[in-house]
Structure 1
Amino acid sequence: MSAAFVDRQQVGRRFSRAAASYPQGDFFAREVDRRMQERLDYVKLEPGRILDLGCSRGGSFAGLTARYPQAELLGLDLAPAMLAQDQAPAGWLRRLGLAKSAGPQRLAADAAKLPLKTRSTALVWSNLLLHWLDDPLPVLAEAHRVLEVGGLLMFSTLGPDSLKELRTAFADGYAHTQRFIDMHDLGDMLVGCGFADPVMDMEVITLTYADLDAMFADLRAAGSGCAMVARRHGLSGRRAWAAARAAYEGLRRDGKLPATFEVVYGHAWKAEAKQTADGRAIVRFDTPRQK
């Protein structure tokens, strides 16, 4: 068994600690969610059930429920503390006329081991989850399994140029950001899982800050500190911090410090299987219609 890159327990701890204050730092996730929701304008889909993978406090619930008011909505997250905070409570959605009486369901579970039946979901939605995983492939495979034929997977994640300034500033051999996977590799994973017609695209969003402490405050509020196994597990020394700050200051432009995020978007459909799990081809015969 290969060694893990991502400290899964640390991911859970960071998001659990950030749960109560998450609205102070999730502005970036909400903006990416808004842009993902716009992409649904071009999709013809009437889902009976929607699964939101990595739903955190339910920030995507209102938009998805407004678009698909008849769909059952299930939010899944690794951190129970996030689910308990309930950013989109059922009562609030009902008052807006956006939810059934039961409202969205919430479940604390592992995205790589979904407690759902095969072919039980029409839309799997995932906003900024995949870069927190040691390997996205099992999660994509599970998404494919639970989708019904004709169902859609739509996700966003961060690409390799994300927080490149931070990695450059800390030249100490430790990981200071997550490991971000190239969108072409993600596209290959989708095909390998059996998805049809994957579409991948990306855009660069650059946030600017007055100082480095403000950027770190936003990352902490969003639970977005580094959770890699290769991160520094103790405190950095004063000399290392001073060197990193000086290096980052060298990137200041027009009085602001940049923080680059490469946002990767992907979607793919589940087509009818062409072969069985053991590799045998599936051949279908249509019987002649009676005249």
Structure 2
Amino acid sequence: MTIDKRRLAQNFSRAASHYRQHAALQQAVCERLLERLDLFRLQPTRILDLGCGTGFAWKGLRRHYPRADIIGLDLAHGMLRESRRGRWWRRERLICADAERLPLVSGAVDLVFSSLMLQWCAPPDRALAESLRVLKPGGLLLASSLGPDTLKELRAAWAASAGSAGSPPQGMGQSLPFVDLHDFGDALIRAGFSAPVVDVEHITLTYPHAPAILRDLHDLGTGDARVERERGLIGPGRMRAFARAYEQWRRPDGTLPATYEVVYAHAFGPRPDTRPQDGSTVAAFPFSALRGRRGIPS
């Protein structure tokens, strides 16, 4: 599968002006990721916010590291333009570029922070390798991505409606090849990171009906950006069949769920004498297992 980067940037740029109104999940995951900075003793002088979008992370990064320089990088120029309207944009340097081809010198930053961007790099190996390259030795990568249970109800309902007329809606007929936590950890090791740790969380958003889920995804700019995407309009019969199929997940409170599997990861840029050897492993466990350990808040 190949991502059409130009189309991806266009999708998000078109959504930029109203992105914050629909990005409840993105904001929540960003806040959870920022909370994890408390686990590390860092004093970064330069931070790369990789896939910064409209700048959700900047307030929290400033709170943790008021003296650090922040570089906001995103593929979508419209997102960067919108970020300048935010109250937390101050002196952040903004770069419109591809995460798989970072226009930064090696060893340029102490922290790479990336919230819900890496799922758009399929697979994430090249973006992770570039993140490692721009990290100083011993620097930290703190990231979140989406796992394979993401939108499982939607994908099942669309598959169940396959007998009806019409073509798949953008991004719904075939999903991105979401990487699970084990494969994500393996990708970190392949990239050359040291001491990777990954864990997973499931978050459920609720909606009044199935079309509202599709509208929300469209308004977020998450249309199909695959080169191999299917073209065509959605027939009304297919949409009705999709909505009927989704009803099997109707909850007692009258809402429909949309599940997201969020994969969290951190890893370090190895120092010259600590490059991982063959046979390295990745620690994978629930984040709750960390709480109560010495130095980690309960």
Same fold (TM over 0.5): yes
2 CA distance for matches of 1:60 and 1:140?
A: 19
Offset, 1:15: 0.1
**Residue in 1 that maps onto 2:296:** none
Greater CA deviation, 265-274 or 110-119? 265-274
**Which residue, 46, 69, 72 being the options, matches 1:49?**
46
Q: How many residues align?
A: 265
Q: TM-score, normalised by structure 1?
A: 0.86
- For 1:203-242, what per-residue CA distance to the aligned partner results, in whole angstroms no more than 9, with x for missing partners? 1001111111222222122212333344432112222212
Residue pairs, 1:223-238, within 5 angstroms? 223-238=221-236
**Residue in 2 that maps onto 1:271:** 270
Greater CA deviation, 225-234 or 107-116? 225-234
Q: TM-score, normalised by structure 2?
A: 0.84
Larger Cα-atom Rg? 1
Greater CA deviation, 57-66 or 158-167? 57-66
1 CA distance for matches of 2:46 and 2:197?
A: 22
**Residue in 1 that maps onto 2:120:** 132
Does the residue aligned with 2:17 lie in a helix, a strand or coil? coil
Residue pairs, 1:51-66, within 5 angstroms? 51-66=48-63
Residue pairs, 1:80-119, within 5 angstroms? 80-86=77-83, 89=86, 92-93=87-88, 103-119=91-107
Unaligned runs of 5+ in 2: 279-298
CA contact (8 A) 1:179 1:228 kept: no
- For 1:162-220, what per-residue CA distance to the aligned partner results, in whole angstroms no more than 9, with x for missing partners? 00011101113963432211111110111111111100000100111111122222212
Q: 1:261 to 1:17 in 2, by over 3 A?
A: same
CA contact (8 A) 1:58 1:88 kept: no
**Residue in 1 that maps onto 2:191:** 193
1 CA distance for matches of 2:243 and 2:127?
A: 37
Residue pairs, 1:168-207, within 5 angstroms? 168-171=156-159, 172=162, 175-207=173-205
CA contact (8 A) 1:15 1:79 kept: yes
Greater CA deviation, 80-89 or 255-264? 80-89
CA contact (8 A) 2:202 2:262 kept: yes
Q: Does 1:76 align with 2:76?
A: no
**Which residue, 24, 33, 38 being the options, matches 1:36?**
33
**Residue in 2 that maps onto 1:15:** 12
1 CA distance for matches of 2:129 and 2:111?
A: 14
Superposition CA RMSD, Å: 2.0
Offset, 1:131: 0.9
Does the residue aligned with 1:260 lie in a helix, a strand or coil? strand
1:85 partner amino acid: E
